[in-house]
């Protein structure tokens, strides 16, 4: 077909970074050395709690629907971060997400400019600064960034006649590509300049956190009067290594955002919810806890903190009995989780991710001077810690307190008649079990390199209860076996049931996504029906060996 493409389409070659990538691949094929300084993608890994937040969001069916705007918790996180970082108070109407600052800058001129309007653009500049205005039909006029002025624009040198015609002025500091950082005095002068000529300022603030030599990356919006004359783009891409997530924000003047938001509803339906969920936890990078501890003291402290909360909760709750006790404890768990997820406390709880720096079990590996691992202890250490906890629990069970606990478990009335103080022993048992739960939670955080309040739903409580029931309510050995079988069946052995299987050309029926959970539920029902007391009941592993030895001895005696 002999089509005549638009002048707008033929004006642009492929993006410079795409051309550089092709050139790089060509040189690599030729065996030539390549030093890639083209695309500003940070090379440090994304934080573990961000990856975990994205992974959890990806598993939720609701994440794959149209977003139709920004999540309220994301807006709240941006508010908290701007207040903490720049001392800028933003209303929800003054914040909106965009698919990267590049996409936002490409479209912002459509909101403000008609064909023939003038847009002031720095020279040199990032390509999209001039491409965006051109797409709207506006005329691009360049103002220079010169070395003798520290690459800061000389606003007084801009032709007044040109400034009178300008509708929009794009500014970027720390500046791409010259790297200059503008002082606050320049922003104050810029606000006055915008007021004088009725110009809307668009400030690209993608690099505010990447500064050196004592320089300070500022927000244009932190200057008095800036909210009246302009807007600002801020991004997670460069600061937090989320370049691929394409999460940025337009912030500032309400009137501009209202018009821009209406325009973008004709283009897309909002940021991908998975990326939004990850961004929520990235913007909370503060939190109450600002220190780190060695692993073993931290594990003990985690248990102690859990025990303290258990004591406070147990004061009113342990006065209840049976089903009422279970309902109350579940209710308290939901209350605590909701408090940690409350957006207003984000600056304190770090977006329900209060702790930021987690050691991992890989930290226990022994390395040589070159950093190579010479002895892997990453698998041994968690089993060792778990073994110590189990040994302590078993020792407690065989103590006088343990016998009192079991008496209360079997018959509270009889235990009280024997002189056992029910309230005191229940409180002690509740706090002690919470201590070990706290240690387990700390180990979970080390394993995941993150921990979020959102993960600890009531469903997790039911899963733990199910593990205990399957293994045997009165057996520590049974709980260990039950936990292994639960995880192995739900995550490993039955995974094939979620996938289509073929025997020759015959497709096995029923095998599809979700069928694994159906089969797993049936297995649990069978176990509960035929093993009323669980697999181990109230027996421990040594009991099995003793029974076997007794049977063997009895067999020998009968033979005589």
- Bridge partners (DSSP) of residue 506 are 503
Residues 119 and 264 in one domain: yes
What pLDDT was estimated at residue 39? 59
Neighbours of 272 (CB within 10 A): 19
In a domain, 463, yes or no: no
> Concatenated DSSP letters for 77-91?
HHHHHHHHHH-----
462 in a structural domain: no
Q: Are residues 409 and 485 in the same domain?
A: no
Ranges of residues in the chain with a pLDDT under 50 are none
Regarding whether 302 and 186 lie in a shared domain, the answer is no
pLDDT of residue 321: 67
Based on the domain organization, do 225 and 189 belong to the same domain? Answer: yes
Cα→Cα distances 262→97, 122, 180, 265, 394, Å:
13, 28, 34, 5, 64
Q: Which of 229, 250, 283 is the last residue of a domain?
A: 283
Same domain, 190 and 225: yes
Q: Could you tell me if residue 22 is inside a domain?
A: yes
Q: Which residues pair with 166 in a beta bridge?
A: 118
pLDDT of residue 10: 65
Domain of 516?
Answer: 472-560
Classify residue 466: in a domain, yes or no.
no
Q: What is the pLDDT of residue 357?
A: 62
Say if pTM beats, i.e. exceeds, 0.85: no
pLDDT of residue 288: 65
CA distances (Å), origin 474, targets 150, 407, 546: 75, 12, 18
- Residue 211: which CATH number? 3.40.640.10
Assigned domain for 152 exists: yes
User: Is 55 found in the same domain as 107?
Assistant: yes
524 lies in some domain: yes
What are the phi and psi torsion angles at 473 (to 5°)? Answer: -60, -35
Residue (of 491, 450, 493) closest to 55 by Cα position: 450
User: Residue 557: its pLDDT value, please?
Assistant: 61
392 and 442 share one domain: yes
Question: Which of 456, 482, 509 marks a domain boundary?
Answer: 456
**Nearest of 154, 162, 159, 160 to residue 190 by alpha carbon:** 154
Are 107 and 206 in the same domain?
A: yes
Q: Which residue stretches of 113-249 are H helix?
A: 128-135, 160-165, 184-197, 226-229, 237-240
Whether residues 409 and 441 fall in one domain: yes
Is residue 87 within 8 Å of 222, Cβ to Cβ?
A: yes
Q: 247 and 99 share a domain?
A: yes
CA-to-CA dists, residue 203 to 104, 182, 218, angstroms? 12, 12, 11
Does a structural domain hold residue 467?
no
Domain end call among 235, 268, 283 = 283
430 lies in the same domain as 324: yes
Q: How many domains does the chain have?
A: 4
* pLDDT of res. 267: 81
The Cα angle at residue 93 between residues 92 and 98, in degrees rounded to 5: 90
117 is a domain residue:
yes
Q: By the 8 A CB rule, do 187 and 223 touch?
A: yes
> Alpha-carbon distance 318 to 336, whole Å?
17
The pLDDT value given to residue 251: 93
Q: What is the pLDDT of residues 145-197, one digit of tens each?
A: 998 888 899 999 999 999 999 999 999 988 877 888 888 999 999 999 999 99
Helices assigned H by DSSP within 30-125 = 48-58, 72-86, 100-112
The answer to whether residues 152 and 267 belong to one domain is yes
């Amino acid at each position: 077909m002999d089509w005549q493409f638009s002048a707008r389409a033929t004006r642009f070659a492929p993006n410079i970074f795409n051309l550089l990538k092709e050139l790089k691949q060509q040189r690599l094929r030729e065996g030539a050395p390549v030093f890639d300084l083209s695309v500003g993608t940070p090379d440090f890994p994304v934080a573990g709690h961000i990856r975990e937040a994205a992974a959890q969001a990806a598993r939720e069916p609701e994440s794959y629907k149209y977003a139709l705007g920004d999540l309220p918790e994301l807006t709240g996180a941006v508010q908290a971060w701007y207040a903490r970082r720049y001392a800028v108070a933003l209303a929800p109407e003054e914040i909106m997400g965009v698919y990267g600052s590049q996409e936002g800058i490409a479209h912002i001129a459509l909101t403000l400019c008609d064909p023939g309007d003038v847009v002031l653009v720095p020279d040199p500049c990032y390509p999209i600064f001039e491409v965006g205005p051109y797409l709207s039909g506006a005329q691009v006029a360049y103002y220079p960034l010169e070395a003798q002025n520290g690459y800061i624009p000389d606003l007084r040198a801009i032709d007044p006649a040109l400034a009178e015609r300008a509708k929009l002025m794009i500014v970027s500091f720390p500046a791409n590509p010259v790297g200059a950082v503008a002082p606050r005095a320049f922003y104050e002068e810029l606000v006055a300049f915008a007021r004088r000529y009725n110009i809307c300022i668009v400030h690209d603030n993608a690099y505010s956190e990447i500064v050196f030599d004592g320089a300070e990356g500022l927000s244009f919006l932190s200057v008095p009067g800036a909210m009246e004359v302009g807007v600002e783009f801020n991004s997670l891409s460069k600061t937090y290594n989320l370049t691929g997530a394409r999460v940025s924000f337009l912030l500032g003047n309400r009137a501009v955002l209202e018009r821009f938001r209406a325009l973008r509803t004709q283009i897309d339906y909002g940021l991908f919810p998975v990326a939004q969920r990850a961004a929520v936890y990235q913007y909370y990078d503060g939190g109450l806890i600002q220190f780190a501890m060695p692993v073993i003291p931290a594990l003990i402290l985690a248990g102690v903190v859990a025990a303290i909360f258990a004591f406070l909760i147990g004061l009113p709750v342990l006065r209840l009995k049976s089903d009422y006790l279970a309902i109350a404890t579940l209710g308290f768990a939901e209350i605590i989780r909701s408090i940690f997820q409350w957006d207003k406390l984000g600056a304190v709880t770090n977006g329900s991710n209060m702790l930021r720096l987690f050691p991992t079990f890989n930290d226990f590996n022994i390395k040589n001077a070159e950093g190579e691992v010479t002895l892997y202890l990453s698998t041994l250490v968690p089993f060792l810690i778990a073994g110590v906890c189990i040994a302590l629990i078993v020792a407690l069970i065989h103590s006088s307190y343990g016998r009192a606990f079991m008496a209360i478990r079997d018959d509270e009335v009889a235990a009280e008649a024997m002189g056992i103080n029910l309230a005191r022993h229940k409180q002690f048992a509740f706090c002690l079990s919470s201590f070990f739960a706290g240690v387990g939670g700390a180990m979970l955080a080390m394993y995941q390199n993150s921990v979020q309040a959102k993960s600890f739903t009531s469903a997790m409580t039911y899963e733990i209860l199910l593990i205990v029931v399957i293994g045997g309510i009165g057996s520590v050995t049974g709980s260990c076996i039950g936990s292994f079988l639960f995880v192995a069946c739900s995550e490993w052995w039955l995974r094939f049931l979620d996938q289509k299987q073929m025997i020759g050309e015959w497709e096995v029926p029923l095998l599809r996504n979700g069928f694994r959970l159906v089969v797993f539920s049936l297995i649990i029902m069978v176990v509960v029906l035929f093993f009323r007391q669980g697999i181990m009941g109230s027996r421990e592993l040594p009991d099995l060996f003793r029974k076997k030895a007794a049977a063997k001895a009895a067999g020998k005696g009968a033979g005589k």
